[in-house]
């Protein structure tokens, strides 16, 4: 037994030498306490972080300060899919969600923002092809036009989620991306956000910031935490990067005729990404083909007859349905939820009126 203990301590000391952390931490790790295991896990990420350009000084300053956040673990396990033994929940109706997220207050605040930011929004639309109102609607949905951005410490949250292990690779990559942001000079006290690591006015994950963040106000920085112009330009940049097609509406409300045979338009494809979201969409037909099947637009603007679209009935038959263009799929790339994407499109239409 004593020889096994000595071997364990030797292994811990070797880890300490390899990863550059103190023998005391290695000894604690051998003891098996959660804090010690967490520190051992974080220090095991040092080579990968340094290969990504994070300095040893940043790692030495940050890693020892981090502890597991039990609330983050609880919130993660409470998410759909967080408990693999939980029964699948029935899909609710869209109308109650729409009433909460496309309400008079959010529309009114969006219209006021639209007017105050109009010159900058118009410039971003010229650069990206993304409509001003779509960018504003995402801003409104994500943080209430900047009213709430989250107060969780990103490094602590993302480190905890990576350590927990349910989606280890995802959160490990985001943890290292956050360290990269610090290496770029963004102070840790600014790196606050949701429990899952979304940050700033657009609620970007750190890796998304590194990939698409833009300087919208011309000061040479992409400050999505304090500059609305930078945040909106970054939202536009994200949607452009995801494939936004200029001058194509996201979709349009339609009326489905009584007796419509939905089996004839059922999609036979399975999406590799969030399949339950895409399973609610029909197969793709042109707007002209939908018209010939008796599907009549009741909203505005209507995509051109040559545009391809899918049908969704979020409140079931005998309620408002929507034809969705390829740009709707781009909004799903931002947040893969039909309710979210529909509400973004409807809020954008209301703000632009």
Listed in order, the ranges of the chain carrying CATH 1.10.8.350 are 152-219
Whether the pLDDT of residue 212 is over 80: the answer is: yes
For residues 31-42, average pLDDT: 87
CA 178, CA 78: separation in Å to the nearest integer? Answer: 24
What average pLDDT does the chain have? 90
Whether the pLDDT of residue 237 is over 60: the answer is: yes
Query: Could you tell me if 227 and 214 are in contact, meaning their C-beta atoms sit under 8 angstroms apart?
Result: no
Exposed / middle / buried, residue 207 (Cβ in 10 Å: 0-12, 13-18, 19+)? middle
pLDDT tens-digit series, residues 57-69? 999 999 999 999 9
Which pLDDT belongs to residue 79?
76
Percent of all residues in the chain with a pLDDT value above 90, rounded to a whole number: 82
Give the domain 152-219 fold: Helicase, Ruva Protein; domain 3 (1.10.8)
Residue 149, phi then psi, degrees to nearest 5: -125, -5
Which pLDDT belongs to residue 13?
38
Give the domain 93-149+220-244+334-353 fold: Lysozyme (1.10.530)
Listed in order, the ranges of the chain carrying CATH 1.10.530.10 are 93-149+220-244+334-353
């Amino acid at each position: 037994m004593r020889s096994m203990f000595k071997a364990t301590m030797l292994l811990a000391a070797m880890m300490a030498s390899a990863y550059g952390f103190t023998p005391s931490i290695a000894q604690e790790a051998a003891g098996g306490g959660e804090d010690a295991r967490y520190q051992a896990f974080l220090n095991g990420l040092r080579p990968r972080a340094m290969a990504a350009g994070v300095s040893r000084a940043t790692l030495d300053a940050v890693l020892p300060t981090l502890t597991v956040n039990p609330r983050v673990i609880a919130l993660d396990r409470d998410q759909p899919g967080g408990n693999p033994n939980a029964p699948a929940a029935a899909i609710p109706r869209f109308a109650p969600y729409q009433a909460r997220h496309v309400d008079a207050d959010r529309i009114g605040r969006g219209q006021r923002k639209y007017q105050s930011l109009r010159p900058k929004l118009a410039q971003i639309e010229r650069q990206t092809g993304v409509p001003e109102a779509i960018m504003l609607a995402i801003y409104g949905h994500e943080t209430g036009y900047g009213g709430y951005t989250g107060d969780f410490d990103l490094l602590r949250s993302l480190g905890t989620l990576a350590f927990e292990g349910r989606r280890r690779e995802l959160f490990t990559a985001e943890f290292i991306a956050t360290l990269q942001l610090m290496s770029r000079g963004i102070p840790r006290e600014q790196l606050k956000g949701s429990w899952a690591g979304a940050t700033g006015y657009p609620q970007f994950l750190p890796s998304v910031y590194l990939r698409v963040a833009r300087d919208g106000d011309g000061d040479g920085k992409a400050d999505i935490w304090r500059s609305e112009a930078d945040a909106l330009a970054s939202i536009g940049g994200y949607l452009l990067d995801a494939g936004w097609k200029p001058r194509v509406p996201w979709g349009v409300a339609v009326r489905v005729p009584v007796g419509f045979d939905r089996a004839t338009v059922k999609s036979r494809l399975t999406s590799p990404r969030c399949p339950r979201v895409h399973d609610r969409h029909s197969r793709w037909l042109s707007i002209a083909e939908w018209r010939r099947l008796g599907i009549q637009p009741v909203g505005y603007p209507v995509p051109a007859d040559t545009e391809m679209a899918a049908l969704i009935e979020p409140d079931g038959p005998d309620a408002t349905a929507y034809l969705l263009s390829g740009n709707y799929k781009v909004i799903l790339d931002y947040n893969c939820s039909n309710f979210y994407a529909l509400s973004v499109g409807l809020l954008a239409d209301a703000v632009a009126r």
